[in-house]
Structure 1
Amino acid sequence: MLTKSVLTLVETTQILDVARAEAEKNKWAVAIAVVDDGGHLLALLRLDGCAPIGAYIATEKARTAALGRRESKQYEDMINGGRTAFLSVPLAGTLEGGVPVVVDGQVIGAVGVSGVKADQDAQVAKAGAAVLNS
């Protein structure tokens, strides 16, 4: 039988804290979502000034990264590169800003961020994921 690491409240809080610090350092009003490896929401934080839709988008970016086992930007690049048929896939977060959390080569969850420019969202998500990524 295989065993795997899972995100607990401790790790989820660490991810949120680091991502929040990165966003606040840059004065970015964002929403930050952390999901488990099945895309189920573990935590959501919407900073003051972030539009309410940011919470939805951040969650979907995280879900996409967790279920796809890759950064959500890869799906955006695929679609922008002409593979428009991929738009029919039942993922709502195919935009940059979702980053998987990887431990011992296994995706155990993901972080999604929304609220600023796509590369800035990704910067915040990557900061949070880096707490555990190995």
Structure 2
Amino acid sequence: MDLELALRVCEAALKQAAREGALISVAVVDAGGHLVTFQRMEGARLAGPVLAPGKAYTSVAHGRPTADLAELARPGGELYGLAGDRFVCFGGGVPLWADYGEGERVMGGVGVSGGTIAQDVACAEAAASVWHTR
């Protein structure tokens, strides 16, 4: 994950947010969950700088979209108790995969926060599409 690609991923999320009418924060992390870039739209919610990187980190750590974790982290779910600290278990985080011949590996993640869950997911998926079509 290099900075140039991470910035393009962010830009795709911001463009989708404009189409959605949402004010978002977006974060891109590398395979180790370390922040590569972060952007926040003017007027975006206060929690975005915490939640967007948290969603990106969570998607990398678990190798799945954070929307998939929401049900699993509810009371009675097999991952109940996961949410908290660095793990954000609701939609808006998407892992970025790459195929290295021996199978796919997570190479990073994108996290979006500030809109509705559906808007955050749409923005994160738009951002991930840049990664997958590079």
TM-score scaled by structure 1?
A: 0.87
The answer to which of 73-82 and 36-45 deviates more is: 73-82
Q: Distance in 1 between matches of 2:72 and 2:63?
A: 15
TM-score scaled by structure 2?
A: 0.87
- Select the residue among 52, 55, 70 that pairs with 1:76: 70
For these two proteins, the number of residue pairs brought into alignment is 128
* Shift in alpha-carbon separation, 1:75–1:85, aligned structure 2, 3 A: closer
* Shift in alpha-carbon separation, 1:46–1:67, aligned structure 2, 3 A: same
Q: Distance in 2 between matches of 1:18 and 1:88?
A: 29
| Structure 2 gap ranges (5+) | none
Residue identity (%): 30
* Shift in alpha-carbon separation, 1:112–1:85, aligned structure 2, 3 A: closer
Written as runs of structure 1 = structure 2, the 5 A alignment for 1:27-106 is: 27-80=21-74, 82-83=76-77, 86-88=80-82, 91-104=86-99, 105-106=104-105
| Structure 1 gap ranges (5+) | 1-6
